[in-house]
Amino acid sequence: MLFSLTSEKCTDEQVDIYDSVLLRLVDMVETEVRRFVAERLSELRRGPERTIRQLASDEIDVAELILRRSHVLRDRDLVDIADVQSNAHRLAIAQREMLSEEVTDVLVKRGDIRVKRRVAANQGATFSPAGMAGLLEAASSDQPLQLALSDRTDLAEDQIQELVSVATEAVRLKLAGTAAAADAEKLPQAASIAAQRMSNDYWLSRYDFETARGRVMTMARDGRLTEATLRWFAADDRFAEAVVAFACLTRIGLHEASHWMVRLDVDPFLTVAKAHGFTPLTVATLLKVGPWRHRLSVQARAMALAQYEAMRPDEARQKLAHWDDMVTH
């Protein structure tokens, strides 16, 4: 398919044209053709959004690869599909590389036991307290789910205790560390995977900053780039555009902005935002965009926002000026 070969070079207007044409075509062709189109589109970082959403809601033979792979689908799309489509659709979503709390909440609530097992085994999935409670409740009568949960490294102490209380003897022994020697052999590999998963480059490689830069710079030239625009990008989970807009509005480099808005230490981001007078609402919205949606817990976001509100603008400007001096000297 031509678009899959040229998508990175297309303008926004050209993508919209492709989207309109493909949207009409997929309504007219048989399942095999729709499946072929879905397979090609599932690999793109940038693509015709309406067509991809429609194919993701198609029968599972068509939708599966898009649901499992597509970076174009946003959390709100996945939530809507998981809520109304089949368990087969939910099972495909559960196999995505990364899953936010919003998505796993729906998968746990609406999914059958196969979906729950799959999402529990997904180390890239994050869970809200309610979502994890739903898994633990289902695990009381399902050993495979107990085993999947026992392999997770993000269980809180009370959740581990609850799992132990409902687990079979085999799972209790595993949780108690009877197989500690075997687990120790796996630690270097597990640590390596975790380091890769948590690196800035790993997260940033998922986004198309070049296209976002062109779009945002056009808005800036037209005088349409404001704090409200930045907040809209964040609210719509357009991470690449939000990063570029933040860099433009604060006059810092795109490289610095992108790395500061993905790391777990949010102090540089908070300092720059305070020095430029962003409102707490804007900062709170940005703390939930892109990788931070997955990497920062609700508690971490609350602490960051409290830190921001307590920070003095003059201190933030002094710190930022000190950083600039260090760079220039």
Nearest alpha-carbon partner for 58 in 95, 33, 94: 33
Collapsing DSSP to helix, strand or coil, 99 comes out as strand
Distance in angstroms (rounded) separating the CA atoms of residues 269 and 308: 10
Residues 6 or more apart whose Cβ sits within 8 Å of residue 208: 8, 45, 46, 240
- Region of 237 please: left (phi>0), alpha (psi -120 to 50) or beta: left
Distance in angstroms (rounded) separating the CA atoms of residues 54 and 2: 19
For residue 329, the Cα-to-chain-centroid distance in whole angstroms is: 37
Distance in angstroms (rounded) separating the CA atoms of residues 306 and 311: 9
How many Cβ atoms sit within 10 Å of the Cβ of residue 185? 8
Let me know: does 240 contact 209? Beta carbons within 8 Å: yes
Per-residue pLDDT of the chain (329 residues; tens, 9 = 90+): 544 545 555 666 666 777 777 878 887 889 999 999 999 899 887 778 899 999 999 999 999 999 999 989 999 999 999 999 999 999 999 999 999 999 999 999 999 999 999 999 998 899 999 999 999 999 999 999 999 998 887 787 788 878 888 877 777 766 665 444 444 444 444 444 444 444 677 678 878 898 899 999 999 999 999 999 999 999 988 999 999 999 999 999 999 999 999 988 899 999 999 999 999 999 999 999 988 887 888 889 999 999 999 999 999 999 888 776 544 44
Residue type, 180: A
Distance in angstroms (rounded) separating the CA atoms of residues 237 and 242: 8
Give this prediction's pTM: 0.62
Identify the sign of the CA torsion 69, 54, 235, 132: negative
